[in-house]
Amino acid sequence: MSNGLNNQSLYILVVEDQQSIAQNIADYMEDKGHVLDFATRGDQGLNMALTNHYDLVILDLNLPVMDGLEVCRQLREQASHHVPIIMLTARDSIDDKVSGFTIGADDYLTKPFSLEELEVRCFALSRRHLLQAEQILTLDQLVIDRKRQQATRAGQDLELHTMGYRILSILAEAYPQVVSRSQLSQKLWGDEPTESDALRSHIYQLRNILDKPFDYPMIKTMHAIGFVLDVKKHEK
């Protein structure tokens, strides 16, 4: 029986090695009509997340073989689309949250948590990423074809280099949120040290292709924070 919040049935992967927590999530969520798969190890969870098309991954931070942060990092690197991730942790320090968000987690819940709140967060994330699960991502004049890894603006092909395409995809998937410089660097280069001017140079090149020939700039710099796409006529 649905709780009236949303009639949508979600396909969820739960990566959690504590049997009692996994069982509680299963009992509550399956009773609400959601379909769940389970993994107890990080490497197993990563493999399942890359193989199946889940609406959402509920990911514990402390896992055997591969921890949640590493699962999250590899999933963001290897997955062909953005699957929303809610990270579970027993630790409530700001460092854990920052590292989780930097690596690509979408939301965070600290144990113990309310199962009702977990479901509310799942719905919120699945709605936000419904558009992003599609192969074609459309934001007003901008259309990104994930399968072909190509983008057009106002019907014109954008001759993007690989790095330009990756930056544009990251900004488009995050829209309407701001992506910090550190988040962008992490997604592009991981922990590899990079020249401080490298990102600036790639953004400059992207702007020349994405913004210069058109009627308004889409890449907006948020001073001392990062970048956000400016979509003038975004329609849902």
The per-residue pLDDT for 40 is 97
Tell me what the mean pLDDT of segment 208-226 comes to. Answer: 92
123-156 pLDDT, tens digit per residue, is 888 876 665 556 788 888 999 987 788 999 999 9
The per-residue pLDDT for 169 is 92
Q: Lowest-confidence range among 114-123, 174-183, 215-224?
A: 174-183
Q: If you write DSSP's letter for every residue of the chain in order, what string do you get?
A: ---SS--PPPEEEEE-S-HHHHHHHHHHHHHTT-EEEEESSHHHHHHHHHHS--SEEEEESS-SSS-HHHHHHHHHHH-SS---EEEEES---HHHHHHHHHHT-SEEEESS--HHHHHHHHHHHHHHHHGGGSSEEEETTEEEETTTTEEEETTEEP---HHHHHHHHHHHHHTTS-EEHHHHHHHHHTT----HHHHHHHHHHHHHHHTTTSSS--EEEETTTEEEE--TT---
Mean pLDDT score across all residues of the chain: 86
Share above pLDDT 70 across residues of the chain, in percent, rounded to a whole number: 87
The per-residue pLDDT for 66 is 94
The per-residue pLDDT for 20 is 95
Is the pLDDT confidence value at 236 over 50? no
Is the pLDDT confidence value at 91 over 70? no
